[in-house]
């Protein structure tokens, strides 16, 4: 889509400083942008590129003197969020095709839909999808090839399941949920009772409940609870390859980066951010608003609002100092040995 910077600024509630008649057709990073692109400045470390970027316009929080001549500025309160909205205006979201072999009803004849399943109006179902007995799929959903929906599963309206998503029996998925390829929802939790040297499986009788507006990246695995539910609450977003243990509760609007692992029966508050490869031991409580640096090992309860890092988790500043100290432990060890020898001489 093409529009002038003035038209775009009007939609973004931004003020134009410069030539608003320039046309843009897309969005790009400040170093990669061309003369028909809009870019943004949200991090001060990119300020130096304002003098060299080829972009037609840039979203900024305040007018910047460092801009090259001819670069139009769109001044707004939150350049990053405005850039998101510009992406929606200029690029839009991914569109979802009809099944290529569907004739009239948007459901592929190569899909296997149980007669006792309920499919909502406008839902598209591709070849090799299986929807079992008693399952309910809402209106306006999209199920890509290879999706499996187990018995008595419920899926809310306008949800998207990409190829090879598996949802085990009785689990519940909310409205406007996006589950990317190869996720598994509701597999058995890792529960065994060891007796006389043998690991005996404990039946996993619970389910998984996923709230509204949740997005799960590719390859995530969410275990069903032994009893009760494993919960991923409204608005939470996962990157790829995240594992959630049985009986865990994840609060609203959390952000988990790739390779996060949560052991069973943990309770995670609202607006928690976990960096990549963070691990959380079982039966812990993490309060609202906690932020963990990448590779953090959380082995005890964490009160709300803390920023943590390290193995095991400590305050982020301490974790950074510990990491810097550990860069050359061998040299530090040699210095200590030399000092010890001097004391004994």
Q: Which of 246, 253, 330, 333 is catalytic?
A: 246
The mean of the pLDDT values for the chain is: 96
State the pLDDT at residue 203. 97
State the pLDDT at residue 326. 86
Domain ranges of the chain: 3-90, 112-321
102 pLDDT band (50/70/90 cuts)?
Answer: confident
pLDDT at 1 over 90: no
pLDDT at 48 over 80: yes
State the pLDDT at residue 295. 96
303 pLDDT band (50/70/90 cuts)?
Answer: very high
CATH match for 112-321 among 2.160.10.10, 3.30.470.10, 3.40.50.300, 3.40.50.2000: 2.160.10.10
328 pLDDT band (50/70/90 cuts)?
Answer: confident
If phi > 0 it is left, if psi is from -120 to 50 it is alpha, else beta; for residue 226 that is alpha
Same fold, 3-90 and 112-321: no
The tens digit of pLDDT for each residue in 188-244 reads 999 999 999 999 999 999 999 999 999 999 999 999 999 999 999 999 999 999 999
Known catalytic residue: 246?
yes
330 pLDDT band (50/70/90 cuts)?
Answer: confident
CATH topology of domain 3-90: 3.40.1390
């Amino acid at each position: 889509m093409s529009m002038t910077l003035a038209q775009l600024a009007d939609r973004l509630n931004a003020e134009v400083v410069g030539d608003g008649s320039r046309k843009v057709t897309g969005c790009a990073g400040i170093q990669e942008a061309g003369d028909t692109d809009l870019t943004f400045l949200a991090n001060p470390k990119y300020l130096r590129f304002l003098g060299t970027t080829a972009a037609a316009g840039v979203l900024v929080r305040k007018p910047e003197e460092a801009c090259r001549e001819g670069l139009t500025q769109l001044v707004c309160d939150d350049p990053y969020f405005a850039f998101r909205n510009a992406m929606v205006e200029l690029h839009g979201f991914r569109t979802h095709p009809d099944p290529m072999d569907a004739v009239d009803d948007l459901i592929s004849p190569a899909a296997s839909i149980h007669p006792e399943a309920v499919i909502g109006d406008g839902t598209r179902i591709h070849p090799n999808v299986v929807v079992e007995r008693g399952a309910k799929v809402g209106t306006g959903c999209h199920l890509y090839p290879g999706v499996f929906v187990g018995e008595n599963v419920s899926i809310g309206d306008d949800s998207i399941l990409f190829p090879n998503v598996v949802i085990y029996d009785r689990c519940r998925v909310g409205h406007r949920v996006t589950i990317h390829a190869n996720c598994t929802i509701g597999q058995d939790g890792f529960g065994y009772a060891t007796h006389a040297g043998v690991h005996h499986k404990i039946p996993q009788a619970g389910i998984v409940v996923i709230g509204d507006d949740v997005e799960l990246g590719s390859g995530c695995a969410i275990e069903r609870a032994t009893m009760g539910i494993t919960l991923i609450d409204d608005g939470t977003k996962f990157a790829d390859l995240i594992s959630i243990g049985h009986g865990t509760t994840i609060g609203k609007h959390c952000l988990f980066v790739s390779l996060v692992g949560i052991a069973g029966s943990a309770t995670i508050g609202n607006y928690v951010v976990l960096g990549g490869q963070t691990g959380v031991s079982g039966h812990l409580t993490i309060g609202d608003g906690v932020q963990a640096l990448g590779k953090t090992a959380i082995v005890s309860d964490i009160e709300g609002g803390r920023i943590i890092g390290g193995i095991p988790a400590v305050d982020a500043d301490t974790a950074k100092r510990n990491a810097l100290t550990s860069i050359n432990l061998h040299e530090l060890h040699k210095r200590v040995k030399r000092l010890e020898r001097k004391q004994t001489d």
